[in-house]
Amino acid sequence: MTRARARVGVVGSVNVDLVVRCEALPRPGETVLAGDVHRFPGGKAGNQATALARLGLDAALIARVGDDDLGQWLVDLLAANDVDTGVMQHGTGATGTAFIAVDAAGENQIIVSRGANADLDVSSVDLAGFDAVLAQMEVAADVIDEVALRARALVLNVAPARPVDPATLARCAVVIANELEAERLDLATLAHCVVTLGSRGAVHFAHGREVARVTAPAVTVVDTVGAGDVFCAAYTSQFVAGADATTALAFAVTAGSMATQALGAQGFLPTTEEVTSWLARASS
């Protein structure tokens, strides 16, 4: 009998990304010239749900868009990418928008207008119906607290960095943070915490003790926007599959690195086969 695909709920933000490329990112008070404006689908939850679907999982996005044309554009794109949009919410007002500048080295600065994301309500969503829920911090804190109470297993990406109720963190199956975000955490109190190190890879801690570390493959970086979201999706795909810490990290680090090779948060979303093939070549 063929095993059913793992079902993952993704709770968080969905945005329209307006991206410009410039030679160098502006300093405070500085104006720089840039190229044309490009429009991409984005928002951490939207990115992660699309990446999960691309990896072959059954991904349902629990997010909120406005009643504008951009909101419908996002929903249509998500559906076209095999994301389950049946539990998405439609509110009044504007859809969330991110303004992104990317420099010649692929580094970025991002300003987010939350829009409809600020009104997301998960009270009527059957969170326990998912094998796992992946969430981030671009929605209200009480939404994350409720998800932690009701989800069967929560993988929480604590981005962007802001205070999180210690009780919520204690309920997480896994917390994912970058180095700056990890500075706010007491790793010893977390069952599992994965800390991403950018081009240096990632490390997995269990109750503050390092249990796995993986370096990142060398790639030609075009744009780092969304690479962390691909990492989170790839890690979650391995988590629900029951992979060990080293296997999950290697898969997620490789997927995240591959995602930096195209412009836009969803410019290149690798499949499971593509990631597995890369890992096979690297080990041969």
Looking at residue 264, its pLDDT comes to 59
Looking at residue 265, its pLDDT comes to 57
Tell whether the torsion through CA atoms of 53, 131, 128 and 211 is positive or negative.
negative
Known catalytic membership, residue 244: no
CATH number of the domain where residue 153 is located: 3.40.1190.20
CB-CB contact of 242 with 127 (8 Å):
no
Terminal Cα distance for the chain, rounded: 33
Q: What is the C-alpha separation between 242 and 237, in angstroms, rounded?
A: 9
From 17, 126, 229, 244, active-site residue: 229
Supply 55's token pair: 């990896």
Which residues of the chain fall short of a pLDDT of 50? 1-2
Per the domain annotation, does 115 fall within a domain?
Answer: yes
Looking at residue 216, its pLDDT comes to 84
Buried b (16+ CB within 10 A) or exposed e, 47-73: bbbbbbbbbebbbbbbbbbbeeebbee
Per the domain annotation, does 1 fall within a domain?
Answer: no
Looking at residue 2, its pLDDT comes to 45
Per the domain annotation, does 284 fall within a domain?
Answer: no
* Residue 92: domain span: 7-24+35-279
Looking at residue 278, its pLDDT comes to 83
Could you give the number of structural domains in the chain? 1
Per the domain annotation, does 17 fall within a domain?
Answer: yes
Looking at residue 5, its pLDDT comes to 81
Amino acid identity for residue 56 in this structure: G
Looking at residue 197, its pLDDT comes to 92
Q: Enter the pTM of the model.
A: 0.89
Other CB atoms within a 10 A radius of the CB of residue 172 amount to: 23
